[in-house]
Amino acid sequence: MKHQLSKEAFRFEGKMPLQQAIPLGLQHVLAMFVGNLTPLLIITGVCGIASEEFASLQISLLQNAMLIAGLITLLQLFAIGPIGGKVPIIMGTSSGFIGVFKSVAATMGGGVAAYGAIMGASIIGGLFETVLGFFLKPLRKFFPAIVTGTVVLSIGLSLISVGVNSFGGGNTAKDFGSVENLLLGLFVLVVILVLKHGTKGFLSSSSILIGIIAGYIAAGIMGLVLPTTGVTADGVEYTKAWVLNWSKVADADWFAIPKLLPIKPVFDLRAIIPVGIMFIVTAVETVGDISGVIVGGMDREATDKELSGGVMCDGVGSSIAAIFGVLPNTSFSQNVGLVSMTKIVNRFALATGAVFLVFCGLIPKLGALVSMMPQAVLGGAAVMMFSSIVVSGIQLITREPLTSRNLTIVAVSLGLGYGMGANTAILAQTPQAVQLVFGGSGIVPAAIVAILLNIVLPKDKPETTQSK
């Protein structure tokens, strides 16, 4: 029986007993659970709708994020018509859009209206990516590993500062950078590192979730032995950022039907243009993820049909997510690494994890429990998660020989593209349209420069490479 399990677990369409599939599916859910909700926590915070006033709205959005991740994963695994690649990919809320969404929120002044504009842009952008996926075969030559790798690398670089900001307690916190916040973040990071590299199998792959749970416990103990309030220089009393707010959980329902359009979409070109360009970048990243999971888990190249269906699922899933007030849903890089590591590609096993996510989406108390997470606890996990995206980008880049041409593409894309986006003051005198496209995160300009250079620079000749 054990031998039979090993065969079925390593086959995409293999038949497995439910009791054996569930732990394998949960392993994938544990690897992405926190990452699926992190972008939502960050962007609702940036838009100013993470406060007590909007607590029920944020919980509703977190609830929807879990439901949508489960449903879109099932669509990716089983496909409806051409939509879905039938590939062992777990779908979830994309962290790649955080930089662009922060830029949009700043441009539009934050608030519910800014979040609505993000939703409107995501609906349009998702449909645009769906069309891109349909025509992916002729476009595939424009996205070699050197381009996808540069894009993934710039995504990771843009997120590191976000992770460090959370590590200090969140820059809106009155006690940002306090010793308590820093030690709490460091504790979570150490727990994750010890589990990831000191254990194997289930404990190792779920190290991030266990680290977060340890952070909750530590914050609870700190609340019993340390002062939970402080006083600003103006003499105003405040609650420290690391204190757990259990009233959020107490006020949330045990069961609720997810709400359609919890935030009304706003269609504004200031959001649609930069977000639309980011969806092209996402399509490139998804091509890289699917290629990686097929090579790593099945030891073969991905087919055009798998890539096209996978990207179309990304687009459709992102548009559906926005209708539920959730950020774009895309392939999850953490799970690509998990598949490559374990070689477990069984569709039924992954589907049990997706069904678990759907159930989570029907329980608001679970969303409330996540939403009260101290920023420092989130930061302890985010620093490692976001830095690992940088490493994934490097791995993609080095998949091809680092010729003079390829080094130029990476260097100029990161130097000019990412550098320009990360230092927006340089664009202050340019038209607003240019600032919207190139300002903010650095991801969009780096992607555009990488794609253009890959087209313009002459290809390396095989014979020249050999003679060198």
pLDDT digits (tens, 9 = 90+) for 128-158: 999 999 998 888 788 788 888 888 788 778 7
pTM, to two decimals: 0.75
Of residues 43 and 16, the one with the higher pLDDT is 43
Helices (H) and strands (E) in the chain, counts: 22, 4
Q: Which of 120, 97, 70, 132 is nearest to 361 (CA)?
A: 70
Could you tell me if 354 and 361 are in contact, meaning their C-beta atoms sit under 8 angstroms apart? Answer: no
Whole-number pLDDT of residue 3: 39
CA 144 to centroid of chain Cα atoms:
22
Q: Is 369's pLDDT higher than 80?
A: no
Whole-number pLDDT of residue 466: 45
The pLDDT confidence band at residue 405, using thresholds 50, 70 and 90, is very high
Q: Which of 24, 325, 14, 413 is nearest to 202 (CA)?
A: 24
Whole-number pLDDT of residue 93: 92
Of residues 19 and 257, the one with the higher pLDDT is 257
Of residues 59 and 206, the one with the higher pLDDT is 59
Whole-number pLDDT of residue 233: 75
Q: Is 159's pLDDT higher than 80?
A: no
Query: Mean of the pLDDT values across residues 369-379?
Result: 80
pLDDT in tens, 436-465: 667 666 777 888 889 899 999 998 776 544
Of residues 202 and 78, the one with the higher pLDDT is 78
Q: Is 174's pLDDT higher than 60?
A: yes
Whole-number pLDDT of residue 464: 46
CA 232 to centroid of chain Cα atoms:
35
pLDDT in tens, 80-111: 999 999 999 999 998 878 878 988 888 888 88
Strand partners, 237: 231
Rounded Cα gap, residues 171 and 75, in angstroms:
38
**pLDDT-wise least confident of 86-90, 339-343, 407-411, 460-464:** 460-464
Give 438's contacts (C-beta < 8 A, 6+ positions apart): 420, 421, 427, 444, 445
Whole-number pLDDT of residue 419: 81
Whole-number pLDDT of residue 6: 53
Whole-number pLDDT of residue 468: 42
Whole-number pLDDT of residue 342: 67
The pLDDT confidence band at residue 121, using thresholds 50, 70 and 90, is very high
pLDDT in tens, 191-235: 988 988 888 766 776 677 788 889 999 998 988 888 878 777 787
The pLDDT confidence band at residue 71, using thresholds 50, 70 and 90, is very high
Whole-number pLDDT of residue 72: 97
